[in-house]
Structures are given as C-alpha cells and as structure tokens.
Structure 1
Amino acid sequence: MSTDPDTLAATKLTRTEFAVVRAYAQGMRPVDIANRYLLDPDDDDVLTEHQAVQRILTLRDRLVQFALQHDRPDIAAMFEALRGRSDAGMTRRVDALSSIERLGQGRPLPGHQVSLWFRPSLARRLATGGVRTIADLTDLANQRGSSWWRAVPRIGQQSAEIITRWLRQQQLEIATAVRPYVIPPSQHRDRPALVPARLGPAMRDPIPLEHMLTPAPDYPGAISLGDDLRFIRDWVARRSGSPNTAGSYRREAERLLLWVAQQRGSVQALEADDLARYRSFLADPQPASFWCGPAGARDRALWRPFEGPLGASSIEASMRVVRALLRAMARSGLRQGGQAVLAGSVPVAASESIETNRSNLLPPGVVEDFLDWLGTADPSPRQRAARATALLLHRHGVRISALPAMRLGDVRLAGRSARLLSGAQNESEDSGLRLDEDVWMALRAHWADRGIQVEAGWNANAALLAPSEFPATKRGRAKQAQDGAGYAASGLDQLLRGTWKRFAAGRELPEIGFTPRLLARAGRPLPDAPK
C-alpha cells in the first residue's frame, strides 16, 4: 500500500486480506475473523463487533476498487453487498475472489474515474473542479503545465505534489501521458536553465529570441537567416520605450523566425504563398509537442512559443506584426524580392484597419450590455474598477497604456462632473476630457472602495485606478508600500479580460477574441472602405 495519504496506487490485497474477505463472504462471524486474521497474537486488544465489521468493509472497498481498476464491474458489483444470501451466491463470490487474486496490480486507463485511484476526499475535490477521469487530469496538466492544480479549487501544493508524482510514475501505463514540462512543485527550483542553441532546422526545442545563436556556418541558409536574426533583434530593441509593443513584436517575430528556420527558409525571402501557409500554421501549430506548452519562464528549459492554436483575432494581430516587419525589412534594403506580399488593390495599412474594425468588432449593443452588467451584476470592488476602466476606454477613448500614469491630481472638478487632464505640460485647467456623468460616478464608486472621498480632499499623487486590496505576496506588499501605487497596464488588461470572460459565459456571443481595445473601437465610427 502506498504511503502517500491521498493516493491508492497499490490497492491489491495481501493473501491474508483476501482470506478475511473470503471468510466474511462465507458467513464467518466478524469478531472471529478479526481475532484470527487482523489482530497481532501478542496484542491484548479485543475488537468489538462494530470495529471488526468496519475493518472488513474497508478491505471490501479496496477489493471493489481493485476489480474496477481491472475493468471487472461484474466482480465489483458482486462484492458491494458482500454477505451472501444463498449457497450459490457464496460460491460465485469465492470463485470470483480466486480469479481476481491471480491478477496483478491494476493499470490506470484514461477513462477511469479519479475515484478509482485517489482517496475519496481528494477525488471529490478533483471532481468538483471538473476533473472526473484520468484523461481529464492529464489533459489539464498538459494544458497548464506544473501549475495545473491552481485551476482546481481546494487542491493545495501538497496534494499537487502527490498527484503529479503519481502521474509521472504512470508514464508508461497511461495512454495520455503527461508532457515532460509537468513536474511536481518541489522540483520547480531545480528546473534546468535553457541552453542557447543555433537557429536552424536541427533545433531540438524552440528557443526564445534572446537565446538564439546564429546558424551554423555549414547550414546552406546560414547567411540570410543570420541577417534575419540580427535585423529582428534590432527592430524589437527600437521599441524598448514601449514594453507592451516590444513584447508583442518580440513574440510574433520569434515565432516567425522559428517557423522559417524549420521550413529551411528565411524571413527576407517570404512570398505570399509562404505567408498563407504561416497563417494556417498559427491556427494549428504542429507538431504540438515542439511548439505548444503552458506559459513559463523564458530562461528555463521546455519553454514554448505557443500555449495552443491561435484564435481568429490573434492570428490577425500576429499577421499585422509580420507585415510591419516585412515593410521595415523592405525599407532597410534587406528585403529585395517578394513585394507582392505587400502589394494589392488595398494598401496594407488600410486593409488592416478594415479587418480590425469590421471583422473584430463586438456586435451592436453588446458593449452597452457589458457596461450595464458591470454596474448591476454582483458588484464588487474589482467589478467597479473594471467598470470605471471600461467607461474611460469606451466613452472617452483613453488608451489603456496611458491610464497607469494618471493621478488624482489630474482630475479637476467641474459642476456635477469633472475634467481629466492628460498630464501634458502647459495644459490649461479648462482643457482635457470632460467626463460623462456616469463615468464620473463610476470613478467615485471606485475611489470609495479605496477609502477616497472627493469632498474630503485627496492625495494628488494617488493613482487614478488602483486595487482596493493588494495580494498578500512579497511583490504585492512591496507595491502597496509605494506612494501612488496603482494598476499597471497589464493589470488593467487582465482585469477587463477576466471580467469580460465572466460576462460572456452562458451568452451566445460570436467567437471574437476580446481585447480592451475593442471597447474603444466600439465607441468610434467605422472608416469607409477604400474605393
């Protein structure tokens, strides 16, 4: 029997335990069975009838579980009642015991219920979190990596350690085995560092942009691929002043570089057909074992450029970055051929605008429904912060990247509303955005959650938008200690995405990858398509 408190990895009974169940099935008194088989001869303790029955039924439960692990529900059902009412029933049970006693340890199968392999309390927690079968468990682990357990309520680090070790021990047994990047929590600190590798088709694993080495000199396309690598690094570095843009450019550029290297090509030589194939690849990166994995540190082994296939809006965003890269290459003179990629009856910039505004817009009325829902459905400090943010984006076109820099000192009272200054130098008191009344009320509700009252004055350096409570982590406490700490742009992005996800759940909305930018676009008229 396993020593892990949460697992039932070895449920086969010993010969003595089989003898206990056999004697009980044949009608022997529980106390007599206990005295003969379950008590130490040197022990003076005496079991009561109730204690003896409980011990025997525990063995019965293990026997039933063992039968189910071997896909023998007939034998399991036979022992659910256990005590025979007839000689025929007794004989069948004894024969079944003899046959199952000859079986080896059970083998986990994808369709097995988790209750067959884990103790009841843990199995119930897994099932409550939507993990009902071994296949569910391995799929979740492969999708989320070593942090899979954070998606299951009431599964802590200790249980995650036990379950993950068990999954890895069953690698040869379970058809849907966990991937190498799924490791127990205790091994996180020991993950090997990512080793830089040469860019080219011989790569065993994908490599982040900053860890790519120039191709081997003997590789036929080494010169052009090396030029691609140097140009892209410089192109991304020029966006360092805007971290979000730089991160997006780096992500899409390294994906493209890795793909062309696998295709034995180069970025500067891409043609229209190549881009069409790359678009299809983004929708289904294969082989998934090479390309896909959960988000993880870029400097650690088993990093992957994709978490899974990209949705339609993400593909469009990726292709916009790719086209921007190709235009930059053409302007620099590095890209001489393949101009047909960028040519067409509609200019690239205009076509992107039309794609963005027409194919990725939220349906009419949905944004207003979302804003109304934010104000009425289960209000909480986070939801009120999300409403204030969404209204600023939608009604006034404020960029999400500009919000973290805004302070309470940028607010000027104006009757029943207020003006919001941009913080630019030489900006007059009468300039800036005049906030709609509902936007102003949403901001005041958010400030009230933070203990800020307009009438009582405020700290002008306090952030316009900030969490009412910071997480009880080292990073959260450090940020809370900062004067004027508030939401970062990434925090506001996550806040709106998470809130939208809850709003969209159960509603028949089209497959549109929501981004906060869509809220701003929904507040502006569409441009006419070029003639």
Structure 2
Amino acid sequence: MDLRFRRCYHFCFTRRRTYFDPDDDLQAATPSAMDRYLRDMLDALVKLAIEHGSPVLADHLKSSARKHGSAKLTAVSLKMVEEASKLAAAVPAAGHGIGMWFRPLVARRLKGEKIATLGELIDLCNQRGGSWWRSIPRIGPGRASRIVAWLRRHEVTIGRRVDADVDLAEPFKADDAQIVEIGGRHQVLAPLERMALQHGLSGATGANRSPMFALIHARNDLEAIRDYLYRFREEKKTLRSYTKELERFLLWAIYVRKTPLSSLLVEDCEAYKDFLAAPSPAFVGPRAPRHSHRWRPFSSYTLSPESQKYAARALRSAFSWLVDVRYLAGNPWKAVKDPATIRREAGMDIGRALSASLWHRVRSYIDGQCANESASYWRTVRVVLLLSGDSGLRREEITGAARAGMRESTYSSDDFPVWELTVVGKRKIERTVPVSPATVDALRAHWRDRKKNFDDEASGPLVKPIFLPPTPQAKERHKSDTDLSYAPDSLNDMVAWAMKRLRAGIPDLSNSEIAQLEATSPHAFRHTFGTQAAAEDVPVDIIQRILGHRSLQTTTIYVQAKKQRMMKAAAKYYAADAASESDDD
C-alpha cells in the first residue's frame, strides 16, 4: 500500500468516530468497511484521473493496473490524480442528505429536528433567522457560523440562498456600536439588548452557579437570560413583559446590590420586592425609545400591587427554568412571598364594551359603507369586528385563523344556521367557537375582494390584506402569498381608522358614546360579545368556553344580573327611607 494511502487510512481509522459514525447517509465505520471505503475512493480517483487527466497520466495508470491488478500511485502520480479529480468533483445540491456533507455528529442533531436535506436546512435558517441553531442541541454559535458560511459558499450549486439577515447575531443584542457596559463606576442604564456586563459582575463565577453539567451554552448571566427569553420568541406580548422584568432585576442587582444575578440570595430578592414598591429616581424616567440614552427601566415612581406581584412571579418562573437547565443551583425566589394585593371584585375592566344600541348602530353604519363596491378595506374591517364582537376572538386569534379551521357546524339547521371555527388561543390552547351567519356573509364578501370563492377554498388565512404598502418591510414580510396575513398590532390601527370615521359618520351620538368610540380597541369588541351574550341569558359556562377563559370566575364579570338586583333593591330601600323621614317631618 502506498505510504500516503497508508497515512490517509491511519488518519481516517483513528478519527472514525468523528467522520464515519453509522448514519443514514454513510456506512458503518467497521475496520473492513473502512478498508473497502478507502479502496473504493482510490478506484474512483483513478477513474476520474483516466477520464479527465493528461494522456501521459492515463497511460501510466492503465499500465500499472494491467501489471499489478490495480493502479499503484507514486507521490507525483497521486498529486496528478488529485488535480484531475477536482474536474469532476461532486457538488452540493438542495436534495442531498445532510449526512453526505456534514459530520455525523452534526447530521444527527439536525435530523433530530426533522432536517434531512440541505434545502430543508436552508429553509430552517431563513425561517428562524440568526438564532436558528438555538433549538438544536449541541449546535453552538461557532458551529452554526461555519454551517451558514459553507451553505453560502455553495448556494449556486444548491440553488437556494441563505437570507442576508441570517447573520448569526445573538438574539436580544444590538449592534456593537450601541452596546453599553453595565457595572462600571458610572451608573449607565441600558435595555437588555444593549447590555454588556463587566466581568466581575457577569456571573461567570456566580456563587449560585450549578456545579452540574449545564444544558445551555450560557457563559454568564446575560447569556442565560437571553436563552430563557428565546423560548418566547413567538409570543411577542409575553416576550416584552418578561424582558422588562428581567432587565429591571438585572440592572438592580448590578447597581444597587453590586452582585451578579447568579449570586443573589433570598434576602436580596426580598430587598428587590421592597424596591419595586418605590423605585429609586435613577431608575425612573419618561418613556423613551430603547436605543435612546434617556431610556429608563421604570416610567413611574409607583407600581401597582398587581404589577409588583407580576414581577415577583415572572422572576420566580425564570429562576426555576435556570435551575432546571442546571445553570443555577437553586431558586431564591421560591422562599419569597408575592406582594400582597387586593382581590378585585372584577378582574377585568369591561366598561369599554359597547352597549347593545351602540353596537347595533356601529354594525349598521359599517354595512352601509361596505355596500360601496370599492370599499374593500371597510369589508375587511367588518370581518375583524364581527369575529371579535360575534365570536369573542382575541387579536392574535383573528390574525392566526385559517380557512381550514372553519366549517359549517354539524349542529346547524335551516332555522338556526351556524358555522364553527377552530383557533389556537392563549397558552397554545385550541378551541372551537361559533361563527354567526352575518360573519360568514362578511367573510364571503372579503374573499371576493381577494378574487377567491370562500365556499370553494380550503386553505389560506381567514383575513388578509387586500393591498400592501409599498415599503421594503411590507415586501419582505409578504414575500409569498401563503405568508400574507395581518400582524396582531395592525388590527389596532385598523380599529382606530374605523372608529375615527364612525364618530364622524354616525348621527346623534352622545358625548359619552363619542368618548367610548374614541377609546375603543379591538379587545373592546370581545368584551361586547361577553356582555351581550350574558344579557341574552346565554349560560355563563358557554360564554366561558367561547371566550377561552381559564376560570369561570373570570367570565362571571359579564353577568350583571345580581349586581343590578342589588342596586335596584338598595335604591328602593333608600327611597322608602327618605319618604319615611319626610313623613316624620
């Protein structure tokens, strides 16, 4: 066996666990299999050299094969073979299995995420952005960077492109120019994405760090917090709330306690609970953009007891997760009681709900606007308000609703027609809600504006924009028709647009009704459904199921009958008492 071939064989055999582990796309790395694999490789190289190399090399190899049964390679001829093989080397393609191009360790991890081909890997990168690797065990930022770089080098032959914004930037981290070091002599405050912790306060050697093998890559407290928040990347409201609580607590730990977050004890957590009741002036300021130097963690010198309680629970939950993944050894917040709060008579403010009379006039006015053939936006508004006002859906449920989830109910009849819609609500809980005939008719009109027949279609978003603003952001967001849907926040703008025109267009509105329409949000129509359903004696457990409330007690706020009887009885008592006093006089 040629010396260079023996060296190649020795290297590959000693590294067989690394490069030739059993895999769906490769053979098992037994010694005999390795020998066959390398000999087949040599034969393939010789064939390529004969086909693509110089005539002199081809004659030499053919002669050697006739004489020895197989071609013997000298150092010079091996070099020529290598050069010739480059002319016919295999190139990556979108349909190639990842095991053909990546080490088995990497391939197994990717296959565990149902990523089998190079094309599917690129789809994953483009879908999740720079943090695509975080959900894949043992694929850190360094390995992810090399994978993306390799994919970009071969994007021509693969026929697919990794998006430019897949830049492997850390989530919740701003550009380097915006990063502010936290913990220095000057008390500089910055939000989580702009933070960099001074080494002594980073928590790299925190007293509460777990001695066990950690299940996350985090090297310090800031990275651990970002790993925790990454779990909520698809729950924007939750992400904003938890980010606010964790960045407040981290800044307080650094500047007030002068202690890394991973070294805080129960006494520290109790002290922070007191701090929440009255934040220090240095931490408070008017609302400002997160990239501004005027940004402050608190916008008020007083937090309500409910906000204090929420903060304690959010931090307790975050610390529990950090213990579960073995970043922290223990959770000091478990020994801390929640701040005391008043148990409210009603858990939600339903005063924003429209009265039956006003809701009827709003619907009539919108129906009149929708009669105009060119009023496609009004017809979209009508669908959104009816899905909320007749079916009790939240913003996120409306924007996430799909045609595939809607069907005529098996309990429908000619006398009482009703459709049903299955949506995914809060806490990722699926539920089915009834849909009124008026909503179905509104949907048919909206789908006609989309140049589609609602009754013939089986897929697509239930509600989608008819026109797109000519901005780069809109074009990027709606690259394909299947992705076209409203963002939940855009419904706020839609309702504000409609309310402005309703206030000006509906005749004989009282001052209180004008003020109510001015303050109306998409959620107000969900409250409208709850109050109107309760007024029509719909059983409270049915209202609970339609609205998706976890607790029946939450739903009972819509039931005003007991409160009305109490107030009427008291009014009669007061009137009788006043009349009695008058007679005595």
Identify the TM-score tier after normalising by the shorter chain: 0.3 to 0.5
Calculate the TM-score normalised by the size of structure 1.
0.45
TM-score (norm 2): 0.42
